[in-house]
Structure 1
Amino acid sequence: MFNLDILEIAIGLIFIYLLFSMLVTLLNEYINALLKLRGENLYKAILNMLNSEMVEKFYNHHLIKSLSKNRKKRPSYISPGVFAKVIMDLMAEEKANENKGTGSILKANLKDIVSAKIFDQSSVMKLLKSFAEEVNYDANRFAVKLEAWFEEVMDRAKGWYVRKIRRVTLVVSIVVAIAFNVDSIRAYRALSENADLRTDIVGMASDFLAENPDGAAGNTASDIRYEAARDSLVSFYAREISPVNNMFNFGYGDEQLTYIGKHPFSAFLGWILTAFAISLGAPFWFDILNKVMSLRSALKPKSKDEEGNPNTIPPDMPPSTISSVVPPGTPDATVSPDSAS
Structure 2
Amino acid sequence: MFSNLAIDVALGLIFIYLLYSLLASILQELIARVFNSRARILTKGLRRMLEEDDHSADLGFLGRFTFFNWFCELGWSVFYFFAPFRKQSFLKKFYDAPSIRYLGENSAAARPAYISPQIFSQTMLHLLRGSSKEPQATDALAIRDSLAHNYLQMAPDTQTHLQNLFEDAHHDVKQFRVNMEGWFNETMTRASGWYRKQTQTWLLVIGIGIAALFNVDSIAIARILMKDKNVREQMVQLAVSRTPAYTAITDTLIRKNIVHKDSAFFRSDTSLRVFVNDTALIGVYAMLRNDAGDAKNVLGISRGCLTDSSGGHKITRCGFTHPFQQNGWLIFAGWLVTALAISLGAPFWFDLLGKVVKFRSTVPAPETASPQ
TM range (shorter): 0.7 to 0.9
2:369 alignment partner in structure 1? none
Is contact 1:185–1:270 with CA below 8 Å preserved after alignment? Answer: yes
How far does residue 249 in structure 1 lie from its aligned partner after superposition?
A: 6.5
Pairing partner for 1:179 from 213, 224, 229: 213
Residues 1:109 and 2:139 are matched in the alignment? yes
Query: Aligned letter for 2:174?
Result: N
Moved more, 146-155 or 110-119: 110-119
Give the TM-score normalised by the residue count of structure 2.
0.68
How far does residue 73 in structure 1 lie from its aligned partner after superposition?
A: 1.8
* Equivalent runs, 1:1-12 vs 2, <5 Å: 4-12=4-12
Residues 1:84 and 2:115 are matched in the alignment? no
Tell me the distance in 1 between the aligned counterparts of 2:223 and 2:43.
49
Is contact 1:83–1:147 with CA below 8 Å preserved after alignment? Answer: yes
Change (3 A) 1:298 1:129: closer
Tell me the distance in 2 between the aligned counterparts of 1:297 and 1:127.
58
- Give the gaps of 5 or more residues in structure 2: 52-85, 261-271, 306-317, 365-372
Q: In percent, how many aligned pairs have the same letter?
A: 31
1:248 alignment partner in structure 2? 298
Is contact 2:19–2:285 with CA below 8 Å preserved after alignment? Answer: no
How far does residue 193 in structure 1 lie from its aligned partner after superposition?
A: 4.0
2:19 alignment partner in structure 1? 19
Residues 1:118 and 2:149 are matched in the alignment? yes
Change (3 A) 1:267 1:218: farther
Q: Report Cα offsets for 1:279-311 as digits up to 9, x if no partner.
A: 2332332233223323332359xxxxxxxxxxx
2:367 alignment partner in structure 1? none
Query: Aligned letter for 1:247?
Result: N
Tell me the distance in 2 between the aligned counterparts of 1:254 and 1:150.
56
Give RMSD over aligned pairs: 3.4
Query: Aligned letter for 1:296?
Result: R
Change (3 A) 1:234 1:209: closer
Tell me how many residue pairs correspond in the alignment: 292
Q: Report Cα offsets for 1:40-74 as digits up to 9, x if no partner.
A: 01101111211352211111122212322215521
How far does residue 23 in structure 1 lie from its aligned partner after superposition?
A: 2.0
Query: Aligned letter for 1:66?
Result: Y
How far does residue 114 in structure 1 lie from its aligned partner after superposition?
A: 1.9
2:100 alignment partner in structure 1? 64
Residues 1:74 and 2:129 are matched in the alignment? no
More helix by share: 1
Give the TM-score normalised by the residue count of structure 1.
0.73
Q: Report Cα offsets for 1:260-280 as digits up to 9, x if no partner.
A: 784323322221222222223
Query: Aligned letter for 1:14?
Result: I
Change (3 A) 1:295 1:113: closer
Query: Aligned letter for 1:79?
Result: S
Query: Aligned letter for 1:177?
Result: A
How far does residue 152 in structure 1 lie from its aligned partner after superposition?
A: 1.3
- Give the gaps of 5 or more residues in structure 1: 301-341
Tell me the distance in 1 between the aligned counterparts of 2:280 and 2:149.
50
Tell me the distance in 2 between the aligned counterparts of 1:231 and 1:214.
16
Is contact 2:23–2:282 with CA below 8 Å preserved after alignment? Answer: no
Change (3 A) 1:242 1:86: farther
